[in-house]
Structure 1
Amino acid sequence: MSDAAPAAQAADQPPEPAPPPQAPSQPPFEPMSLPRSIAYVSASLIIGLTQGIAQGFVSTNIPQIAGDLGATQTQASWLLAAYLIPRASLTLLLMKIRAQYGLRRFAEVAIVLYLLVAILSFAILDLRSAILVQFFAGMASAPLSTLSFLYMLEPLPPAWKMRLGLPLVLSTISVGPLLARVISPTLMGDQGWFGLHVMTLGMAAVSLALVYLFPLKSPPRVKAIAPLDLVSWGLIAIGFGGLTVGFVMGSIYWWTEVAWLGWVLALSVITLTCAVVIELHRKTPLLDIRWLVSPAMLHLTITLLLFRLVLSEQSSGAPRMFQVLGITQGQLVPLFAIISVATILGGLALIPFMKPERVPQFHIVALILIAAGAWMDSHSTLDTRPEQLYLSQAMIAFAGSIFMAPAMMRGLMAALARGPNYLLSFIVIFLATQSLGGAAGSGIFSTIINHRQALHLQVLREDLTAADPVVTHEIALRATALASQIIDPVQRQAQAVSLIAQDVSNQAYVMAYNDAYFATFVVAVTALCALLLHLWRDWLAARFLNRTSLPSSPEPQP
């Protein structure tokens, strides 16, 4: 069982997009021809998949990459942390850079840098150089999610930007890490990590050609970056980066076993507190902290964070459980192919019904699907195989897609209703809940599993005694089956006992996963009840206001 598995699942989270929709500062919409519109949409899909697949390649193949680098899997998990650290906050600064230096220049420089980092990957010699390259890869990939959004929104009329563009591009970005699991076993082959580098470089080259062939229209440049913006962003970057390291590595090194984890988390709290203090005392802040802590935004933040936590069941559950059961990456290809299809179908299903007033209904459906899928998964056994989780995992993937786009639409509309400057404040919420929430969810999920596995293993071992006739009979059966392989009866018996102990350990892990799946089910049902109560309260309040606003009937005259 790999200690680095929790970190691998943490990096499986979909990228954190930062898409500005048609803002007032953008040029008026000019219709495109159908072929050119298709070209821009295709560019959006390819750029989004380029970023997502490259991220998934690393998180999926940590054991193989560790072997190629001559490192342990725990050491190799730092590759994932290095990739996620810059992504947690860099989008904030990139939005300012894009406004000040122009959208077209931003797109061209961003994609060139990504191509250069893809070429730099071929120079990796050891773990240190790999970690450094992954850090730069995280920086270079941050703009690609934004470019994917911008290319999707460019050809669409304003009425369809939210309804069609938002769900389609979010589904595409989310499916990238899943597709990486589908194609990785074939690409790895006998070439190891080299095949992944070639694929990443090829997709980066195609994206570079698309950016230069189909330029984006640039709105007028504005002076957007102030000196204190850099100070605040630096503090936020340190804080978010520290939290990312803590959440990703906490369940690997264990939270209380190494002192540096506590110091990293403490530093994160201090730097984020300093950033909040600075922003509260600025006339033109980078972030409107008072708006962020308003009841409406707190409700949205809790909603986004809650869904990211329950969706960790998919990224941190089935893949790691099957790893314990001895299922290889190649055997998981059909499962992740089905999950990928369900993710895309979830985005497509939104298009006919996507309206702001229907957001609660989408969330109700998503919670029901997640609760049902987690309940089905909580009945896993040692004999469970990937095909038995096709339906439940597809339901959870579908739910993730029909939740994310409506939630993001509500946040974007709330930000733009107050003005384009509030867009950055919403992006902070989105990054904190999706990037940090994804890492935290994976860490919490893995911590629960490790804790429950230890408890189950202790109970199972107490039930196994040499005096138990059932245990004695099982040892005899195992020893007989090994007779053709091991001649020495003492070694044969020892090997039989070892096999039974391994089965007991696997059983404890499966029981721990069932506990975690059931906990996800409970959280999803609790959230569903809270949402229904909230909607009922709003309905009662609206009905009461309607009654009090009706004119009273005149009293009859004598």
Structure 2
Amino acid sequence: MTGTTHTLPARGAPPAPPAVGEQVSARTWVAVAAGMMGAFMAVLDIQITNSSLRDILGTLSATQEEGSWISTAYLVAEIIVIPLTALLTRVFGLRSYMIGTTALFLVFSTLCGAAWNLESMIVFRMLQGFTGGALIPMAMTLVMAKLPASKRATGMAIFGLTATLAPAMGPTFGGYLSELYGWPSIFYINWVPGALLIAGMLYGLEREPMQLKQLWNADWLGIGFMAMGLGGLTIFLEEGNSKDWFDSPFIITFAGLAITGLLGWVVTSTTRAEPFVNLGLYGKRNFLVATVLSAVTGMGLYGSSFLLPLFLGQIAGYSPMQIGEVIMWVGLPQLFIMPFAAKLSSKVDNRILCSVGLALFGGSCLMNAYMDAGTGYDQLFWSQIVRALGQPFIMLTLSNFAMAGIAPRDMPSASSLFNMTRNLGGSIGIALLATALSSREHFHSARLGESVTMLSAATLERIEQMTASFIAKGVDPATAGNQALTAIGNIVRREAYVMAYNDGFFLVGAILIACIGILWCADKVKAPSGGGAGAH
């Protein structure tokens, strides 16, 4: 019978995947689909608060700077739990852990919607991240553990969609829900996919025995170092720009904690026979290349999802719903492209497909590097389409590179590290772009200010025109002159910001295209179509 539990090998390693050619039962597909829904929900929740932040802060009586911790708390908890999922899956079993962590995620999502002050919201968001973060690598583990090689390209294609669609849809979806039903609805909506996920796991997976002894024997020192390192690094990246980086003792402290924790994690991992996650996988060339590019792709995914809504809101004055109408064109075409990419991945060298994907994604960012203050839906449509064409080829093929040749017992570790690296890349990308946006705006503002002076005939003429316009509306001459100077100053600042956004997109595009060279350091890989391991 298909879909039944395989005998667990020693030391609680996950069951080996079904044999090549083995039929996959409907129950197994239900379980895989439920896992994908969980990953999508968890990634969506990373940024779903962004477009609703102003409303949330108003209700909780908090400042913009304080409100940044609503997202930071979720990211810190999520990045810590992702590497732990390999251990927790061995301890509780795939089915029990997925159901338990989803149930807790729904409870904490509800508490987020009912938060009564900023402190309670931050605590509940952290708990939400700690339970939701596990759902991301678990979806990838389900594909590798439950599907035979011939069906894995399809599974990885669906997983790729969760990784690329959710970052783009998070702010959009959050904006729609907030506008229609109020901001608590962005948390309560999780009950719909969450309930379906639990039902899918109950139906699709067999119960596995728990191995609670593994908790007692776990590498708790390594886990402590990992939590300190990744948590410190995430706080450093998320809060660094707003606190002026190394001018802040707070940021210096967390930079020190990050370095100490990460070094301690590496040392304890290499000295223990049974580390909680196998960092030795980074020694495999294909896996290393895949994780480096996963970080870069995370930077591109979250970075472009950070820059474009910010540009449309600040420069074009778009509402969250209008921003959603622009961004949805990154998502919709991917639903049709991903099956095509999955089919190609078993026939064409994945390095070629990934190169095409990186070129398209990078090219779409370069298309956005020439915006002006009038850029809106019509001008951004084609860059969004090009981005949608490229992203599926990247995520699908990188998953294939990462998992090619990985032993069944190391699949949960590989999935955890691969997804952890992508999320870290996202944090690095947003931190890099927020800093670049601020510094380049100052740079362009200064350069424009050199030209727009009272010694410039063009500037004086423009001031006279604007002053006359204000006087014609009934404003007295002195006030009209001041208003004209203020208006000129606002135009200079706006143009400086537009140029800074262009620089940000150019930076992302250049990095994505440059990474095509790194990709060719990997071995040739094709997704298995009916036999073979997939690596050549």
TM-score range, shorter chain: 0.7 to 0.9
Residue in 1 that maps onto 2:349: 358
Equivalent residues of 1:314, 1:393 under 8 A apart: no
Name the CA distance, whole Å, in 2 between partners of 1:436 and 1:80. Answer: 14
- What is the Cα deviation at residue 499 of structure 1? 1.6
The question of 1:472 aligning with 2:460 is answered: yes
| CA deviations over 1:466-515 (Å, ceiling 9, x no partner) | 23222122223323443465533222221222122111111111112222
Counterpart of 1:521, as a letter, is G
- Deviation (angstroms), 1:38: 6.3
Query: Structure 1 residues 364, 257: closer, same or farther in 2, change over 3 A?
Result: same
Question: Percent identity between the aligned chains?
Answer: 22
The 3-state SS of whatever aligns with 2:403 is: helix
Q: Tell whether the 8 Å contact from 2:463 to 2:481 is kept in structure 1 after alignment.
A: yes
CA displacement, residues 161-213 of structure 1 (integer Å, 9 cap, x when unaligned): x210011122034323433333333321275312323323444344444444x
- Structure 1 CA distance for aligned equivalents of residues 162 and 279 of structure 2: 31
Kindly indicate whether residue 188 of structure 2 is the aligned counterpart of residue 198 of structure 1. Answer: yes
Q: Following TM superposition, by how much is the alpha carbon of 1:148 offset from its aligned partner in structure 2, in angstroms?
A: 4.1
Aligned twin of 2:3: none
- The correspondence for 2:205, drawn from 198, 207, 216, is 216
SS of 1:491's equivalent in the other structure is helix
- Residue of structure 1 equivalent to 2:528: none
For 1:484 and 1:227, locate their aligned partners in 2 and report how far apart those are by CA, in whole Å: 81
- Judged with a 3 Å threshold, the aligned counterparts in structure 2 of structure 1 residues 238 and 356 are, in CA distance, closer, same or farther, namely farther
State the Cα deviation string for residues 65-90 of structure 1 (Å, max 9, x = none): 22222212121011111001111121
Match of 2:243? Answer: 253
1:133 aligns with 124
Contact 2:74 2:125 in 1 (8 A): yes
Structure 2 equivalent of residue 527 of structure 1: 515
Instruction: Provide the secondary structure at the position in 2 that maps to 1:170.
Output: helix
Query: Does the CA contact (< 8 Å) of 2:18 and 2:148 recur in 1?
Result: no
Larger mean CA deviation between 130-139 and 334-343 belongs to 334-343
Q: How does 1:291-310 map to 2 (within 5 A)?
A: 291-293=281-283, 295-310=285-300
In structure 2, the CA distance between the partners of 1:429 and 1:75, relative to structure 1 (3 Å rule), is same
> Are the structure 2 counterparts of residues 374 and 187 from structure 1 closer, same or farther at C-alpha, using a change threshold of 3 Å?
closer
- Mapping 1:532-547, distance limit 5 Å: none
Deviation at 1:136, TM superposition (A): 0.7
1:517 maps onto 2:505 in alignment: yes
2:486 corresponds in structure 1 to: 498
- Residue 376 of structure 1: aligned partner: 367
Q: By how many angstroms is 1:155 displaced? A: 7.3
Q: Partners of 2:268 and 2:261 in 1: how far apart?
A: 11
Amino acid at match of 1:101: F
- Matching of residue 184 in structure 1 with residue 153 in structure 2: no
| Matching of residue 171 in structure 1 with residue 169 in structure 2 | no
1:155 and 1:261, CA in 2 relative to 1: closer, same or farther beyond 3 A?
A: closer
CA distance, structure 1, for counterparts of residue 411 and residue 347 of structure 2: 18
Contact 2:369 2:506 in 1 (8 A): yes
Q: Is 1:387 paired with 2:378?
A: yes
Distance 1:59 1:227, change over 3 A: farther
Question: Which residue of the partner structure matches residue 488 of structure 1?
Answer: 476
**Among residues 66, 72, 85, which one is paired with 1:75 in the alignment?**
66
* Corresponding residue number in structure 1 for 2:451: 463
Contact 2:108 2:128 in 1 (8 A): yes
1:96 corresponds to 2:70 = no
1:362 and 1:296 mapped to 2: Cα distance? 15
RMSD value, Cα: 2.9
SS of residue in 2 equivalent to 1:450: helix
The equivalent of 1:274 in structure 2 is: 264
Q: What corresponds to 2:43 in structure 1?
A: 52
Cα gap change, 1:39 to 1:369, in 2 (>3 Å):
same
Contact kept in structure 1, 2:354 and 2:393, CA below 8 Å = yes
Q: Match of 2:527?
A: none
Q: Partners of 1:24 and 1:197 in 2: how far apart? A: 33
Taking the aligned partners of 2:35 and 2:420, their CA distance within structure 1 comes to 24
| CA displacement, residues 246-268 of structure 1 (integer Å, 9 cap, x when unaligned) | 11111222213311101101111
Separation (CA, whole Å) in 2 of partners of 1:71 and 1:484: 42
Q: Which moved more, 1:487-496 or 1:245-254?
A: 487-496
Residue of structure 2 in register with 1:552 after alignment:
none
Q: Is the 8 A contact 2:300 2:426 kept in 1?
A: no
Please say if residues 43 and 151 of structure 1, whose CA atoms lie closer than 8 Å, have aligned partners that are also in contact. Answer: no
User: Is residue 433 of structure 1 aligned with residue 421 of structure 2?
Assistant: yes
Confirm or deny: 8 A CA contact 2:240 2:431 kept in the other structure. Answer: yes
C-alpha distance in 1, partners of 2:365/2:320? 22
Are the structure 2 counterparts of residues 173 and 88 from structure 1 closer, same or farther at C-alpha, using a change threshold of 3 Å? same
Does the Cα contact within 8 Å between 1:54 and 1:200 map onto a contact in 2? no
The answer (yes or no) to whether the contact 2:114–2:184 under 8 Å persists in 1 is no
Shift in CA distance, 404/504, structure 1 to aligned 2, threshold 3 Å: same
**Do 1:445 and 1:516's aligned partners in 2 also have CA atoms closer than 8 Å?**
yes
Quick check: 1:443 aligned with 2:434? no
Tell me the distance in 2 between the aligned counterparts of 1:339 and 1:287.
34
The one-letter code sitting in structure 2 at the alignment partner of 1:377 is: N
1:180/1:375 CA distance change after superposition, 3 Å: closer
Question: Aligned-pair distance for 1:361?
Answer: 0.8
1:240 equivalent to 2:240? Answer: no
Distance 1:185 1:308 in 2: 22
- What TM-score do the two structures reach when normalised by structure 2? 0.86
Range that drifts further, 262-271 or 385-394: 385-394
Tell which deviates more after alignment, 151-160 or 372-381. 151-160
For residues 50 and 282 of structure 1, do their structure 2 counterparts lie closer, same or farther at Cα, with a shift above 3 Å needed?
Answer: closer
Whether the aligned pair in 2 keeps the contact of 1:167 and 1:347 (CA below 8 Å) is yes
Which whole-Å CA distance do the structure 2 matches of 1:503 and 1:341 have between them?
35
In 1: Cα distance, 2:253 partner to 2:86 partner? 31
Cα distance in 1, alignment partners of residues 301 and 191 from structure 2:
30
**Counterpart-to-counterpart distance in 1, 2:176 and 2:286:** 47
Tell me the distance in 2 between the aligned counterparts of 1:198 and 1:218.
Answer: 29
Match runs of 1:306-321 below 5 Å: 306-321=296-311
- Map residues 6-155 of structure 1 onto 2, 5 A cutoff: 25-26=15-16, 31=23, 39-40=30-31, 42-146=33-137, 148-149=139-140
Q: Which has the larger radius of gyration?
A: 1
Letter in 1 for 2:324: V
Contact 1:31–1:155 under 8 Å retained in 2 = no
Quick check: 1:333 aligned with 2:321? no
Instruction: Provide the C-alpha distance between the structure 2 equivalents of 1:394 and 1:340, rounded to a whole number of angstroms.
Output: 9
Shift of 1:277: 1.7
What CA distance in whole angstroms lies between the structure 1 residues aligned with 2:412 and 2:140? 16
Question: Which residue of structure 1 aligns with residue 4 of structure 2?
Answer: none
Segments of 5+ residues of structure 1 without an aligned counterpart are 1-22, 539-558
Structure 2 unaligned residues grouped into runs of 5+: 1-12, 525-536
Number of aligned positions between the proteins: 508
Per-residue deviation at 1:240? 0.5
